[in-house]
A and B are shown apart, each in its own frame.
Chain A
Amino acid sequence: MTGLHDVSHRHEGAATIAKHPVPKGEPILELRGLQKKYGVVEALKPANITFLSGEVHAIVGENGAGKSTLIKLLTGVIRRTSGEVFWCGDAVQLATPNEAISRGINAVHQEVVLCRHLSVAANMFLGDEINKNGLMRKRAMTDAAQAVLNDLGFNLPAAALLSDLTIGQQQLVATARAAMRGTQFLIFDEPTAYLTRQESAQLFRLIRRLQAEGVTIVYISHRMEEVFELADRVSVLRDGTHIGTRKIADTNDAELISMMINRTIEQIYHKETLPIGATIVETRGLSGPGFSDVSLSVRAGEIVGLYGLIGAGRSEFALGLYGRQPLSAGEVFWQGSKVKIRNERDAMDLGIALAPESRRDQGLCLNLPIGLNINLPVFDRLSRGLTINRGREIENADRQINDLKIKTPTRRVLASAMSGGNQQKIVIGKWLSHGAKLFIFDEPTVGVDVGTKAEIYRLFARLLEQGAGIILISSYLPEVYELSDRLHVFRQGKLVASHTYRSASHEEVLTQAIGV
Chain B
Amino acid sequence: MSVETTTETAPVPKKGMNILFGLTLLGLLLFLWLLLGISTTSFWTSNNISNLLRQGSMTAILAVGQTFVIITAGIDLSVGAVVGFSSVTVAWLLQHGVPLWPAMGITLLVGVAIGAFHAFGIVRMGLPAFIITLATLTSLRGIGLLVTNGSTISISDESFTNFSRADFLGIPSLFWMVIVVAIPAYIFLHLSRWGRYLFAVGSNSEAARLSGVNVNRTIYLAYILSSTCAAFVGLLLASRIGIGNATQAEGWELQAIASSVIGGTSLFGAVGSVHGPLLGAFILATINNGANLLNVNAFVQRIITGVLIIVIVYFDQLRRRGSR
Contact = CB atoms under 8 A, between A and B. Distances in A.
Interface of A: 38-41, 43, 64, 66, 68-69, 72, 75-77, 97-98, 100-101, 109, 111, 113-114, 127, 322, 324, 344-345, 348, 354, 356, 361-368, 372, 375-377, 379-380, 382-383, 386-388, 390, 407-410, 412-414, 416-419, 430, 434
Contacts of A77: 1, 3-4
Contact of A345 (B1, B196, B200, B214): B214
B2 A377 contact: no
Interface of B: 1-13, 15, 187, 191-193, 196-197, 199-200, 203-204, 206-214, 270-271
B200 A38 contact: no
A171 to B, nearest CB: 13
25 contacts: A38-B7, A38-B9, A39-B11, A41-B12, A64-B8, A68-B6, A72-B4, A76-B1, A77-B3, A77-B4, A98-B1, A361-B204, A361-B207, A362-B206, A365-B208, A366-B203, A366-B204, A368-B199, A368-B203, A376-B208, A390-B191, A408-B10, A412-B15, A413-B11, A417-B7
Contacts of A387: 187, 191-192
Contacts of B11: 38-39, 413-414, 417
B210 A322 contact: yes
A324 B210 contact: yes
A100 B2 CA distance: 12
Contact of A388 (B15, B193, B200, B211): B193
A331 to B, nearest CB: 23
Given A66-B8, A97-B3, A368-B200, A410 B210 contact: no
B210 A39 contact: no
A386 to B, nearest CB: 6
Contacts of B204: 361-362, 364-366
Looking at B5, B197, B209, B211, the one whose CB has the most chain A CB atoms below 10 A away is B211
B46 to A, nearest CB: 38
B1 A376 contact: no
Given A75-B1, A109-B2, A367-B271, 13 more contacts: A64-B9, A77-B1, A97-B3, A98-B1, A100-B1, A356-B210, A362-B210, A364-B207, A365-B200, A367-B270, A368-B203, A368-B270, A419-B8
B196 A372 contact: yes
A130 to B, nearest CB: 19
Contacts of A414: 11
Looking at B1, B6, B8, B199, the one whose CB has the most chain A CB atoms below 10 A away is B8
A388 B191 contact: yes
Contacts of B211: 344, 376-377, 430
A413 B2 contact: no
Given A113-B2, A365-B203, A348 B212 contact: yes
Contacts of B3: 77, 97, 113
